[in-house]
Amino acid sequence: MLPFAEFGRTGHRSSRVIFGAAALGGMSESRAITTLDLVASYGVNHIDTAAMYGSSEDHLKPWLTDHRSEVFLATKTQERVGSAARAELERSLERMGVDHIDLIQLHNLVEPDEWATAFSKGGAVEALNQARAEGLVSFIGVTGHGLRIPSMHLRSLAEFDFDAVLFPFNHSLLSIDQYRDDVMALRELCQVRKIATQTIKAVARRRWDDGTQGHRSWYEPLTDTDAIQRAVRYVLSQPDLFLNTTSDATLLPLILEAAQSDLTRPLDEEMNRDIAEFGVTPLFDGAALDRI
């Protein structure tokens, strides 16, 4: 059985494995429904999508017709101006065929100029807060990629009381001292304020040598069953963290099976052996790919 925990202060008890619905973006509708049925069969009750994930929101629509009440539904917007963020939220509601979203998130809010726009009068934060007052959404979060995002989340949380954050988390990235320190500070604040902490890139191996074109995920994932199990355990052994699954849907069964195993944290020696054997490297360097 999957582990469950309170998703911050939302009152929802979420599976600690959250289905990353970017995986649906390039699928046919029938395969998307099969995939959603698969994750639901494991007990996953939390879906995370985004307006920019291809056809993901569209493919969710027929499945949500029968299952909306069974899941905590989250989506994202990349818009920073309030009117545009509101319009994209309304399109997301229409695309998914729902009248309410549980969590709307500002996607990858990391660049200083975009941050200033989002928090300004007439910005996205103001608009999404108004949408919450109108009942279109229940909670508001902020997400991001790259080495700068934990510190940017801290800055965002000083400005607005977000309900959830999302950031990369794996053993390779945590070997970077400044990143580890920033993540620790973010997690400590989130625990004090009961803000949900979502993680991504659990099973990342490295960047593709030949670029992202033609691949199911923009990074090369681990594929070894035992290494995936250790990578999943590394996240889920820490009870404040949720794990968002990869956009490579072929790995979903391995991740879901790993999440049902003994969640004792793997030893650093084990993780270091995986780094050496499989050539695991940090995805981010503080600049490249931060905007993905």
Cβ atoms of 201 and 180 within 8 Å: the answer is no
Measured CA to CA, the distance from residue 17 to residue 258 in angstroms comes to: 10
pLDDT at 286: 67
* Residue 165 contacts residue 196 (beta carbons within 8 Å): yes
**CB of 132 within 8 A of CB of 140?**
yes
What is the rounded CA–CA span in Å between residue 39 and residue 251? 12
pLDDT reported for residue 268: 94
Architecture of domain 4-278: Alpha-Beta Barrel (3.20)
Res 220: pLDDT:
87
What pLDDT, on the 0 to 100 scale, is given for residue 285? 75
pTM: 0.95
Half-sphere CA count of 197, side-chain side, radius 13 A: 24
Triad 35, 38, 43: Cα angle to 5°: 130
d(CA 48, CA 101): 11
User: Three-state SS string across 230-257, please?
Assistant: HHHHHHHCCCCEEEECCCCHHHHHHHHH
Domain ranges of the chain: 4-278
Rounded CA-CA distance 134/128 in Å is 10
Contact in structure between 60 and 98 (CB atoms under 8 Å): no
pLDDT tens-place values along the chain, 292 residues long: 999 999 999 999 999 999 999 999 989 999 999 999 999 999 999 999 999 999 999 999 999 999 999 999 999 999 999 999 999 999 999 999 999 999 999 999 999 999 999 999 999 999 999 999 999 999 999 999 999 999 999 999 999 999 999 999 999 999 999 999 999 999 999 999 999 999 999 999 988 676 555 556 778 899 999 999 999 999 999 999 999 999 899 999 999 999 998 899 999 999 999 999 999 999 887 665 555 5
Token pair of 230 as six digits:
């250790």
